[in-house]
Structure 1
């Protein structure tokens, strides 16, 4: 069905098509017609961060920033859904147009800029949702909050979403909020994540449950940056790392229409770059810190490559734009085949 409507959606501005798709998905979910779009994959239980996931394929943050479509998104068969990025106060984000398709390259460029209704609106939406899987909530800082006090924004959001989240992701890697990526610098990262880890332990005692804390990193880190980040995140015993966010590089889309638009590039051109960062992190992080692989997954084979590089879970976003909801089940089944494949010396034969 998605193959029939995609040409119509691609005639719309990318952000407009995004909004129309989510509203249509809500209508289909309310009428119990989502199976027309995608068949829910058979369970493939996966454990990570002390949580049990119905399957290892999730939705990356950014598609549902306000948590307004949680049940409809779970109906597509995701094992987990990550909502946000949410900030303490509402903010409109960057001026439009701010999302662009590169169809030939199967890529997107966005410079949305954490547009959202604020954490209180997200909390209200989450309370109304039924939730049929693991729910992650991705938190950030407001655009006008200086980095010196950014920790206050992250703490504000963490305290409000903690009772409702299955896990919380700290977003310090979006290229669309000026200066945000500076928080990945070693000392800044240690101060920020250290404060959040202290708050996490305090909130765990307060609420009687420990909610895992993950950190999402950029694909544009140098090898030295990766080494430093892994050292900090291992020292502070974070529960997991998401690799990666979008890239500012345009090397793989040179000459493409719209390639000079500013913002984060996602989709197929990001696959190799993000997977390289994932693999390098896996070799540097403590073995008991799981990784989530995201960036450029447009097929089941791509999902398997993320797992082979060290991911315990994978996430999709741009791939849904080009492949539609059937991509979820395709990725689950590809990972299932990898798990069930005969092995030689403990290594699956793919």
Structure 2
């Protein structure tokens, strides 16, 4: 691994290590991390009227409850996406539910949208100092909801005044039936409600996050629904329920797989989305990005921005700045 803090974290089970990382980042931000001074803004990207200081973003899932936003910007991210947040607090699935696949540089999770509810997270967002980067808020539905479309609309309405953008997450494999919302006409109904919920003085950009397990027809349908309902960008993609060859003893765990084994699939789905959208929808690529070379491949394949998460586990907290520096060196 080669990163001392990672070595310490690897002595703990995965979820305890995750909690310690959030606590450390929260403390770092609270004591005045000068994140504005260390963020590299030499490679700005504009999407939906937002200027991202650099094209490297943090994917949702690391900071579910918006506890460590200042510290995360201090790592050099041009954007940080918090969540997934649901209208009501929920504990998520039973433990163990997070697994490191060290031999594969991968993670399997079946967390299940564990979070303290959108209201408590938004209170923390409202208290943040002025930030230089772009803040996304990822919203979802409660597991036991009788009205999932209503949950998304409520999440959008609550997040819109504070978020720079809002991501609609219908692609997590860990809430039963959630991925069914990626198909039309369910997706049209959901996105129409989300679009209506953000209307007002501030029309916050809306992003849609899809699964890498959609086939070509599914991707084309999601893109058409996104365009028809005024979505501003597409995030390709979430974790996968597929299983490429893996070496770890945790390979048979259920949940979403992320990290290095997702790389080729995520890249292929990005290319499919680029071809299907014909440039009509900005694309953000996530999944298996762990180096400047891979970030450049995604950008060359059509991504305007990239997001990372699992690679931080194996490559260390300095990864965002290393990728930005690598991209700058390549022009």
The two structures share one fold, judged by TM-score above 0.5: yes
**Pair 1:240 & 2:233 matched:** yes
1:273 to 247, 252, 265: 265
Q: CA deviation at 1:25?
A: 2.1
* CA displacement 1:129-152 (0-9 Å, x = unmatched): 123311000000000014xx2110
Match of 1:19 in 2: 19
Q: CA deviation at 1:234?
A: 2.3
1:155 to 146, 153, 167: 153
Structure 1 unmatched ranges of 5 or more: 341-350
Aligned pair in 2 of structure 1 residues 215, 182: CA closer, same or farther (>3 Å)?
Answer: same
SS of the aligned residue for 1:293 comes to strand
Aligned pair in 2 of structure 1 residues 32, 236: CA closer, same or farther (>3 Å)?
Answer: closer
CA contact (8 A) 1:39 1:326 kept: no
SS of the aligned residue for 1:82 comes to strand
**Pair 1:219 & 2:212 matched:** yes
Larger radius of gyration: 1
Q: CA deviation at 1:302?
A: 1.1
Equivalents in 2 of 1:91, 1:45: separation in Å?
37
CA contact (8 A) 2:160 2:202 kept: no
Aligned pair in 2 of structure 1 residues 2, 157: CA closer, same or farther (>3 Å)?
Answer: farther
Q: CA deviation at 1:287?
A: 1.7
Match of 1:344 in 2: none
**How many residues end up aligned between the 2 structures?**
329
CA contact (8 A) 1:93 1:116 kept: yes
1:1-350 counterparts in 2 under 5 A? 3-32=3-32, 40-130=39-129, 131-146=131-146, 149-200=147-198, 203=199, 205=200, 208-253=201-246, 255-338=247-330, 340=331
* Stretch moving more, 49-58 or 88-97: 49-58
Q: CA deviation at 1:286?
A: 4.6
Q: CA deviation at 1:198?
A: 2.5
* CA displacement 1:16-37 (0-9 Å, x = unmatched): 00111111222333445689xx
SS of the aligned residue for 1:63 comes to coil
CA contact (8 A) 2:93 2:110 kept: yes
* Stretch moving more, 168-177 or 17-26: 17-26
* CA displacement 1:266-319 (0-9 Å, x = unmatched): 000011111111111111115242111110111111111111111100111001
CA contact (8 A) 2:42 2:328 kept: no
CA contact (8 A) 2:154 2:197 kept: no
Match of 1:347 in 2: none
SS of the aligned residue for 1:251 comes to coil
Equivalents in 1 of 2:134, 2:33: separation in Å?
22
Equivalents in 2 of 1:49, 1:32: separation in Å?
30
CA contact (8 A) 1:25 1:34 kept: no
* CA displacement 1:168-203 (0-9 Å, x = unmatched): 000000000000000011211111112212223xx2
* CA displacement 1:205-249 (0-9 Å, x = unmatched): 3xx222100100000001121122222222223100000000001
CA contact (8 A) 2:33 2:74 kept: no
SS of the aligned residue for 1:7 comes to helix
Match of 1:348 in 2: none
SS of the aligned residue for 2:185 comes to helix
